[in-house]
Amino acid sequence: MTEGPHKRGFSIIELIGVMAVLAILAGAMAPAVLRQTDRAAKVRETANLSTMAATLTQYIIRSNTIPQLNNADPATDPNSWAQVIGSEMTMAPASIYRNSRGFVRIFMIDQSGWLAGNLPYIENQPPYGVMTAPTNCRVMILSTIDTALPSTLTNYPSSGGQAVFNDIWSTPYGSLPTNSIWSGASGYKGNYDDLLIQRINLDPLFHRVALVNGDTNLNGQGYYSANGGSPIAVPGGGTGFNAYHLDGTVLGLHFTNRVLMYKEVIRSDISRIFERGIWRDEIGIGIVSNGVPDFTVIAAAFFNAPSCPGAQWGATPRGVSDALGAFMYGYATWASENICFTNNGYSGSTANNNYGKFTPEFAMMQSALGAFTGANGGASLFNYPSTAVPGL
């Protein structure tokens, strides 16, 4: 019987050599793999912090509330910021309190700014708004991907306070904060690339609202409210007041009897004036001292009146206004092209003598368009541009 070729296996020495080569390769590749893993973790954590900042801002706008700063573990304290952000993101608060590597995140507010002594802040409680412009409403979220943050930060602001905040806020990328809490036995053992700082400035969330009562002992005081709260009187005599409100606040403006006139959502700085019993967005005739209603009051009553069921052609107050505006525009266009309605080189008594029979219409149109100013060198009707007429 013929035997086949002998099959020889690896010797012990050969196996040891292969394992040594693999160990060398693994040792060479491990740091690169770890660095790549850390970079991926940093990218994820940077995105997470950005989302948390946006969520906190969203919560403040939606609720018109800035919660009291609390770095406590949400498992033991339901009022922590981790709890607020987690609820808004529909995530477990524990995943906000600690990052994916198990390190605690720290929330901080600027102790020199308005936030430090005014939290929690709620917009629907009188007096509404902030009387002076909020400044330095700065917030930070700190995180790390390699080693724990300094333990004393968990006691902020009692641990270092404003100096610590300023040091971290102004730390540029590529370096670590210089405050002493970052060194020593309880300091930070990581490098600058492991520390993540999310800065949030809440100053732009506040908008200035100027309310003025132009009725001096005439119709009484106008009232205002925020987010459905109780109406508060605006001081009379044209003084009024300024207040700063959070973005998204629902401002209510009320008549003298506290009945709501209208609501608006505050998205920017605004000013409103109470004149002749109603709120306006611009000054009409200034502070008044008589009780004669003006056209705006009459027009408002007309527009707010119910439609007449038997009105011809289904006319409504708004439809009547639109039709009248179209008529006035056509009338003004015709008049501007008619020699009888233009001075056409005549002036004074000459114009009146030649075209006297048209003077009533001329005066009517001049009165109707008197609020407009010319823009084309006096070539249009009564030196007012006809393009302005549709705005009546």
3-state SS record for 201-218: ECHHHEEEEEEEECECCC
Q: Is residue 24 assigned to a domain?
A: no
Same domain, 53 and 86: yes
Last residue of a domain, one of 249, 274, 304: 304
Position 391 scores a pLDDT of 36
- Residue 26 inside a domain? The answer is no
Which structural domain, as residue segments, surrounds residue 347? 316-391
DSSP-assigned letter for residue 128: P
Q: Report whether 181 contacts 160 (CB < 8 A).
A: yes
- Number of Cβ within a 10 Å radius of residue 122: 16
What angle is formed at CA 292 by the lines to CA 291 and CA 298, rounded to 5 degrees? 125
What is the total count of domains within the chain? Answer: 3
Residues of the chain with pLDDT under 70: 1-10, 14, 17-18, 21, 25-26, 28-36, 157-160, 184-186, 215-219, 237-239, 282-300, 329, 332-333, 335-392
Q: What is the DSSP letter of 179?
A: S
DSSP 288: B
Phi, psi of 49 (to 5 degrees): -65, -40
Examine the domain organization and report whether 100 and 239 are in the same domain.
Answer: no
Residues, the chain: 392
Residues 254 and 128 sit within 8 Å (Cβ to Cβ):
no
Query: How far from 117 is each of 69, 128, 132, 266, CA to CA, in Å?
Result: 11, 17, 14, 24
> Could you count the other beta carbons within 10 Å of the beta carbon of residue 216?
12
Bridge pairing between strands 223-226 and 232-233 = antiparallel
228 and 88 within one domain: no
pLDDT of residue 72: 79
Residue 113 is assigned to a structural domain of this protein:
yes
47 & 166 share domain: yes
pTM of the model: 0.63
Say if residue 107 is in the same domain as residue 232: no
**Which residues, 6 or more positions from 198, have their beta carbon under 8 angstroms from its beta carbon?**
49, 50, 52, 53, 140, 141, 142, 143
Q: Cα separations (Å) of 332 from 318, 326, 345?
A: 21, 10, 19
Q: Are residues 321 and 239 part of one domain?
A: no
Q: In the beta sheet, which residues pair with residue 254? A: 223, 260
Same domain, 142 and 284: no
Does 180 fall in a domain? Answer: no
Residue 104 phi, psi dihedral angles, 5° rounding: -75, 135
